[in-house]
Amino acid sequence: MTLPSRGDAPPVPAAPPGGGQIGALDNLIGQPAEGADTPAPLLDLDAFERNAGFIAGFLREHGLAWRPHAKAHKSPQLARLQQRHGAIGITCAKLSEAEVMAAHGIGDILVANYLSTPAKWARAAAVQRQARVAVDVDDLEHVRMASAAAAAAGTQIPLFIEVDIGMRRAGVRTSAAALGLAGDIAESPGVFLAGVMGYEGHLLRTWPEADKRAQCAQALAGLTDIADDLRSAGHDVAVVSSGGTGSFQLTAELPGLTECQAGGGCLMDRFYVEDCHVDLEQALTVQTSVVSARPGGAVVDAGFKTCGNLADFSLPLVLGRPGITVRALSAEHGILDVAGPPLRIGEQVRLVPAYSDAMLVLHDNLIGYRGGVVTEIIAMPGRGRLT
């Protein structure tokens, strides 16, 4: 078999008029959200803002600042909306996400993750010229690389010591380890101790509520006790950061915390509602169309490439249609079981994602609407930023 040479390759077709997908999405503004071509990721901005207002207000009543995690929405536009409701800054999962946020004017960022190479720490040092970007550490090697990068760049890198409070994923596990690391930071030029953090993510599915409350309190006592030990040794620990959407209503009342990272609750999904027992509005949905129908079942045009899919999470939930459930997802299709009148080809079905993080990583834009009418196209330039 002879392969064609480069000269024999067919020409790349020109982009469609109107800017391709982005242009087509812009044409939706002012139109009903139901008019979006499917599958379509939709965001009810009124619900998003009500959720943001509730979370910020609840935390404020308990004396906590709000630093929502942006790992789900990855959007400077939505981060600014959260700031308008009281967020002091944001949390990012990756340095590259933080670089995007800083470039778009978000000025106070925590990277709740570790940087493993001098090249990454060089980027962390450089981004300080745009924003205050703190980074987690749990080892002297992190501190050494951070200090060298900051000295080379002539900047200062704020560092958070992460404490393992039960996830057994990363972080220091004892006061002695935290004290040693804080001493290393104090002796290293170009870096300073900005705070400590821990995450009770292993407890989000714990229930009944009394058990979850008690276990969260016990776990977070490990964080606040270490913060107290650091202060007793003369270290300035201005921030003690913890809490996620699945637990913030139980952890906000605990003594010693100063800020909370709950952010996904602005979007909501099936995991937060059913597994974590969080009562907020569903703002994020996927609009789909029926492409095949039969008595007792149907197929829609959104599969795991649209909705996301994680092994230990539920399937998407059909919104407002009792008797219709998602039985399975393939790459491009959702397989529905239908009890009652059959669906029709072309009929629309709205899905609640199982987990917003797994869904939004697949999309470049969200279609934002208010009162059922599209008002803006929300870019997510942090999507795909994994370094």
pLDDT at 20 over 80: no
Q: What is the pLDDT of residue 10?
A: 40
Q: Determine, yes or no, domain membership for 325.
A: yes
Q: Are 139 and 248 members of one domain?
A: yes
Q: Are 233 and 290 members of one domain?
A: no
Q: What is the pLDDT of residue 24?
A: 75
Q: Are 207 and 63 members of one domain?
A: yes
> Which of 275, 294, 327 represents a domain boundary (last residue)?
275
Residues 174-188: tens digit of each pLDDT: 999 999 999 999 999
Q: Are 101 and 175 members of one domain?
A: yes
User: Please, where are the H alpha helices in 168-242?
Assistant: 175-186, 209-232
Local confidence band at 9 (pLDDT 50, 70, 90 cut-offs): very low
Q: Are 332 and 212 members of one domain?
A: no
Output the six-digit token pair for 270. Answer: 């099936």
Q: Are 216 and 293 members of one domain?
A: no
Task: With beta carbons less than 8 A apart as the criterion, state whether 160 and 136 touch.
Answer: yes
Q: Are 229 and 212 members of one domain?
A: yes
Bond from prior residue into 353 cis (ω within 30 degrees of 0)? no
> Which of 241, 275, 309 represents a domain boundary (last residue)?
275
| Distances from the Cα of 89 to the Cα of 66, 124, 201, 236, 307, angstroms | 8, 17, 21, 21, 28
* Cα separation, 172 vs 71, whole angstroms: 23
Q: Determine, yes or no, domain membership for 387.
A: no
> The domain spanning residue 204 has which CATH number?
3.20.20.10
Q: Are 229 and 199 members of one domain?
A: yes
* CA quadruple 379, 105, 112, 252: dihedral, nearest 10: -90
* Cα separation, 47 vs 63, whole angstroms: 24
Residue-range definition of the domain harbouring residue 229? 45-275
In the chain, the number of structural domains is 2
* Cα separation, 343 vs 290, whole angstroms: 7
> Which of 254, 275, 296 represents a domain boundary (last residue)?
275
pTM of the model: 0.93
> The domain spanning residue 296 has which CATH number?
2.40.37.20
Residues 344-382: tens digit of each pLDDT: 999 999 999 999 999 999 999 999 999 999 999 999 999
Averaged pLDDT for residues 19-40: 84
